[in-house]
Structure 1
Amino acid sequence: MDGKMLARLGAIIFVAVAITATAIEMTRKDESPAPPTTRQLQPSTPDPLRAGQRRCQQLGEAATRDPECLAVWTESRDRFLGTPAPAAPIAPRQNEGQ
């Protein structure tokens, strides 16, 4: 076999493999993935923190001076960060030697 004949034979084999692969792919049935399941979360009880956040949102800029809003934001931040709430407010220690 000379080089031209070998090249032709290689091209024919390549085309035959490509046609076979295409035919197999076209006859294959598409398996569509299952639709993602979504859950509707229903709050069992109304969250007072959520209501406080809504109130502070409606106050706008005045909420930055509102002590209730500051407490709501602190609790919201602690919940988000997973920081446990302090058991009782820590009172400053008085000097015992006076």
Structure 2
Amino acid sequence: MQTKTVVRIGAVAFVALALTVSALQLRMSPGPVEPDRAGAPLAAGTNTLWPELVRCQSIGAAGATDRDCLRAWAENRRRFLAPGARPAAVLPTAPVVNGSASNEAGIGVRDQTARDAPGEAN
């Protein structure tokens, strides 16, 4: 057999295998689905706006014209974008490596508290 023919047979076998695996995967019934908890509030009493936002999400496109949903979304935006809405303690700080820190542009900034060794060029 020629090399070209062997490669074609291998490619056809690979595609057939991929189709078979895909068909078997689609036939399998999914198990019980757990609810997504990523967007859930941390504590029950911390966010009284949460039930209204969930209701607005559940009504779909009708939420874009619902007066209560528009108010809830405006309040949610106000809370999220308010100055000081997130604690400063969780904001990342610039790492200090070998006596220098990075500024916002990513350019090394010399530590102002460090003293140059005698005879070192500035």
The structure with the greater share of residues assigned to strand is: 2
TM-score, normalized by length of structure 2? 0.32
| TM-score in terms of structure 1 length | 0.39
Greater helix content: 1
Q: Which has the higher contact order (CA 8 A, sep 6+)?
A: 1
